[in-house]
Amino acid sequence: MLSKLFIKTPFWAKLIFNRLTWHIESDEKTLYLTFDDGPIPGVTELVLDTLKVYNAKATFFCIGENIEKHPKIFKRILSEGHQIGNHTQNHLNAREVDTDTYMENFISCEQTIKKHLPSTQVDLPKLFRPPYGRTTFKTRNRILNRGYKMIMWDVLSADYMEELPPEACLNNVLHNTSNGSIIVFHDSLKAKKNLIYTLMGTLAHFTKKGYVFKSINPT
């Protein structure tokens, strides 16, 4: 479906894939920061420290194998009041594997998340973001039928594009964000160069304009 070529998701994609969540309507000035592909030591913690300065809450779409490797960072995300979501166990592309393989990997991530949730948290947050934004008709149906919200985005920072200077990533966000936007960042080693600069700039700019940053509610 949608490739990550669009910084601002075009309206037609939102219309065609209208069962997916692209932005969240809000009366208040609210933005939804999201971070894909962690938890990663040396990156996710920096993100958490930065969010804390602005009292911002966010949503982290975690890769199951990274949760297994870095469970303490996963727990820290939750203990600081952020939300987490499924991003498959091994970052699979739905267009490159068959449906059963994809769903097994999705469920494997679901089990990893369940295993590492704090004992006080009984409900599994049913949020999913497909790696590369790629889904198929069958995977969309199966995942939505399991009661998940499929969280896409309307603004890409493109922080993972190492050839871009950080100023360009920040401009991507500043020029395309509006009330209710879901913005994508990556807490990955590849994105680190652009991530923190872009995140700090985004938080400073929109805080000054009276926005608050919330995590995505799974229910």
Residues belonging to the active site: 36, 186
Whole-number minimum distance, CB 50 to Zn ion, in Å? 20
Binding mask of the shown chain, residues 70 to 89, with x at each position contacting Zn ion by CB under 5 A? --------------------
Binding span for Zn ion by CB under 5 A among 14-22, 28-36, 100-108, 115-123: 28-36
Q: Cα separation of 75 and 67, whole Å?
A: 9
From candidates 2, 33, 37, 185, binder to Zn ion by CB under 5 A: 37
Task: Decide if residue 154 touches Zn ion (CB under 5 A).
Answer: no
Task: Select from 13, 12, 40, 23 the least CA-distant residue to 177.
Answer: 23
Q: Cα separation of 140 and 77, whole Å?
A: 27
Whole-number minimum distance, CB 216 to Zn ion, in Å? 16
Q: Would you state the structure tokens that stand for residue 149, as one six-digit string?
A: 């919200």
Binding mask of the shown chain, residues 114 to 133, with x at each position contacting Zn ion by CB under 5 A? -----------------x--
Task: Select from 65, 7, 8, 66 the least CA-distant residue to 187.
Answer: 66
Binding span for Zn ion by CB under 5 A among 15-23, 31-39, 46-54, 166-174: 31-39
From candidates 20, 21, 33, 36, binder to Zn ion by CB under 5 A: 36
Whole-number minimum distance, CB 161 to Zn ion, in Å? 14
Helix 166-176 to helix 192-208 angle (10° resolution) is: 40
Whole-number minimum distance, CB 69 to Zn ion, in Å? 16
Give whichever of 30 and 93 is closer to Zn ion, judged by the CB atom.
93
Q: Name 20's Cβ contacts closer than 8 Å, sequence gap at least 6.
A: 140, 150, 151, 152
In the chain, DSSP assigns E strands to 30-36, 58-62, 83-86, 127-128, 149-150, 155-156, 182-186, 212-213
- Burial label, 212 (beta-carbon count in 10 A; 0-12, 13-18, 19+): middle
Residues near Zn ion (CB under 5 A), total: 3
Q: Check if the beta carbon of residue 168 is closer than 8 Å to that of residue 75.
A: no
Q: Cα separation of 159 and 166, whole Å?
A: 7
Give whichever of 130 and 201 is closer to Zn ion, judged by the CB atom.
130
Whole-number minimum distance, CB 207 to Zn ion, in Å? 27
Q: Which residue is nearest to Zn ion (CB)?
A: 36
- Applying CB under 5 A, the residues found at the interface with Zn ion are 36-37, 131
